[in-house]
Amino acid sequence: MTITPSTPADSPAERYFAGRLPDRPLRLGCRRSHLARAYAHRVVDALHRVAPGLMIELVEITTSGDRYKGDLSKIGGKGQFMKEIDRALTLGEVDMAMHAMKDVPGDVPLPEGLVFAAYLEREDVRDCVIWREGSKYAGIDDLPPGAAIGTSAVRRKAQILRHRPDLQVERFRGNVVPRIAKLDESDYLEGIVLSRGGVVGVGMDHRIGQVFTMEEMCPAVGAGVVGVQCRRADEGMVELLQLIDHAETRIHITAERTMLHGLQGHCNSPIAGHCRTTEDGQLSLQGMVFTREGAHFAYAQEWDARDRAFELGAYVAGVLNRKGARDIIAGIPH
């Protein structure tokens, strides 16, 4: 699908990039789902704000993670949401690609020659509960012992069970809209836990029940952030995407993903982490590593200057490892 801008291609940005970009619509690769399309349109909108006349074509790609309906850890983890898109970008079938940063693994290096040239401004990072249609419950604490909740994330499972070890937390995967439809057909699950930003992104916010506080549910590393990749050698594309890069989000992502790399977690590791800027201008990074049932965890929160995101991430990873994070991760099968 090609998105035709309403503004003629005669802005200063179009004139500047003439000859630096392909003389055709720019191809943006994304997953084939409601939420991925919503995220892709955020990228397009951001590009049209700086270069209103750009012609952009959405190239939807079905990934291994989308095709496989079982446990992702059995086929290599969340990286399966990226493999085919990265290949299309490397081979020149698309010019840029977008990814939800929470799905970018920390233990797998990016393909050689690719770079995240832009991060869009971070959206809501909180998780929420979608109740089965007609449910009488308003919050997790209202559920009776033995009630079943669905989620696709080991991080969410660990934190739910940390507070309510008497609940049944079941693996429940799928794209947001069909997952909610499947919940409504269930006679077993009372609700599912999803990203609030993702639910809002596909227009299903009317189904949101309980919204977890940050203290109740620490988000995934990269939560709420859309990253845009391109080939490092495509200098014009790199320069264009840098115009939509959100500097504060890049700082936060740098701290979080440095921590993730330092923990050497795998796809089954319940790792949570969130960086923010405090009122006095410092960076605050919180990190948590859980056992799969949430009974044991390592926790750290540290602060540093805004220009020391990498150092802060590495330091928090070191603190967590000294508190037993590496032993927790090593003890989880993958």
Residues classed as catalytic: 103
Side-chain-side CA neighbours of 249 within 13 Å: the count stands at 22
Which SS3 state, helix, strand or coil, does residue 259 take? Answer: helix
Let me know the angle formed at the C-alpha of 47 by 43 and 50, rounded to the nearest 5 degrees. 150
For residues 257, 262, 268, 271, the Cα torsion angle rounded to the nearest 10 degrees is -60
From CA 311, how far away is CA 113, in angstroms rounded? Answer: 25
- Look up tokens 């990039």; give the residue: 17
Q: How far apart are CA 93 and CA 76, in angstroms?
A: 24
* Pair 108, 75: CB distance under 8 Å: no
Angle between helices 309-322 and 247-263 (to 10 degrees): 30
State the SS3 of 151-184.
ECCHHHHHHHHHHCCCCEEEECCCCHHHHHHHHH
- What order of strands is seen across the sheet that includes strand 148-151? 168-171, 148-151, 189-195, 127-131, 208-211
Q: How far is CA 172 from CA 66, 76, 94, 130, in A?
A: 13, 18, 31, 13
DSSP letter for 122, please: P
Q: How far apart are CA 149 and CA 27, in angstroms?
A: 39
